Structure 1
């Protein structure tokens, strides 16, 4: 009888193991970037070490040395040198408080998983390129964290190599002369809000961004004190950005 139970256990284990392997080959949804916000977890949570593929990953971006602009798309590259022909990765972006910021758009061989981006299938080159759109409000410097996994392709989670790396880019500050001061009320609101522009400003574009940086609503106002209907916005927290000529300002808005 014991042999029969053991055989049944093995038969049950096979599809579970296969599922885990297929899930990793298409990228993981849990946080394994090695970032502080992911509790420093990496692919070693599932892939055990035991091999040396001379893996050396790096992160490059087209963010200028002066810093990133708010609500702008940038190209992020993860490049790896390795003797392995099957590699995967996961990357995230966090501010100094270890809060994930911005939003990703997948490129070839990658897919977005919440506020992270990962491989969609094993890569032979270990190189991925994708887009990160910066937050619409000043979140401070951003650090990109990635964990790259070089595998031996034996169909199991053993004998692989995981290496982490990160890079930081500063935010491009807005000078006081170009910072727009405005009033908004009521806040929170469920029906409409009033935007009061400073003296000398009569026209502006008002944009609402959700918590992952997606544009949810855009309105143009043509007077120093104008109302905006927010009834169709989903309940939640938004960053409201007001642009008037060459000045820009932002505040947090709560939709009931």
Structure 2
């Protein structure tokens, strides 16, 4: 009798162990890399933010959103409208000037459940061009390999994405924006979505005489720097507003100086690439690229 009870107990334990392993397998499958959570939610937070890098179709990477999304029939397209702070459309940029970027996705067929996008600005040598700042609530700015990417931060219910962009310094040359959008059906998978074609827009450099003179009056004493930032001016200015941005477009230093012919600041910043924006009392702009060792 005891042997029979022992056998029943062992069988019960074995049954419970088998059920436990089955449940554990289901739980682990829930988080498997191939499932919904990695394959969809992972990407919905933005490709650059989640380690997928450049998906704009730029020379840095020919890959676009079609690497993951396909099957939809929305026939979407994406456009970029660039204006100055007066609301005027621009086709050229003035070095150091701030501009407004507005990306819009339109669909020729159907009504998508949401939208995504990614953009970057590059020089002819594929280096980062200018600085993205102030993304709209549905977007973010992510640094990847010393370049800056503006992209969605979740599935967006609106097809519009906006950002500020500060143009690079004098002598940089043409800047090309590379961008791509995605119209999605929101079914929790990559099927049934349709990315836009990879699109570009190029701005050529132009200078006002006043901005050019101001830029030429500025000299970085050292670049790269190890500790202190030292800027000399060839003339005295009533006021100089200095702002420094990191590669992601985040403002990390902001200060205004009065009656100044030089600036010296000890910067407590990490090694990397930064962008300096300067403005004088006449609202003339200049920008510089800074490297911290």
TM-score by length of 1: 0.74
C-alpha spacing 1:152/1:206, structure 2 compared with 1 (3 Å): closer
Q: Is the 8 A contact 1:211 1:238 kept in 2?
A: yes
2:67 matches 1:67? no
Q: Secondary structure at the match of 1:97?
A: coil
Aligned-pair CA distance for 1:229: 2.9
Aligned 1:169-184 pairs, distance under 5 A? 169-175=203-209, 176-184=212-220
Aligned 1:42-57 pairs, distance under 5 A? 42-47=64-69, 49-57=70-78
Distance 2:141 2:218 in 1: 35
Distance 2:72 2:117 in 1: 20
TM-score by length of 2: 0.66
Runs of 4+ in 1 over 6 A off after TM superposition: 5-11
C-alpha spacing 1:209/1:66, structure 2 compared with 1 (3 Å): same
2:132 aligned to which of 88, 103, 107: 103
The aligned length equals 249
Distance 1:87 1:155 in 2: 12
2:203 matches 1:146? no
Q: Which one has a bigger Cα radius of gyration? A: 2
Cα RMSD (Å): 3.6
C-alpha spacing 1:56/1:8, structure 2 compared with 1 (3 Å): same
1:132 aligned to which of 146, 164, 187: 164
The residue number in structure 2 matching 1:222 is 259
Bigger Cα displacement from structure 2, 227-236 vs 71-80: 227-236
Aligned 1:8-87 pairs, distance under 5 A? 12-16=28-32, 17-19=35-37, 20-28=39-47, 29=49, 30-47=52-69, 49-63=70-84, 64-65=89-90, 67-69=92-94, 70-81=96-107, 82-87=109-114
Distance 1:238 1:62 in 2: 24
2:91 matches 1:91? no
Bigger Cα displacement from structure 2, 181-190 vs 146-155: 181-190
Aligned-pair CA distance for 1:39: 0.2
C-alpha spacing 1:66/1:245, structure 2 compared with 1 (3 Å): farther
Q: Is the 8 A contact 2:115 2:157 kept in 1?
A: no
Distance 2:103 2:41 in 1: 25
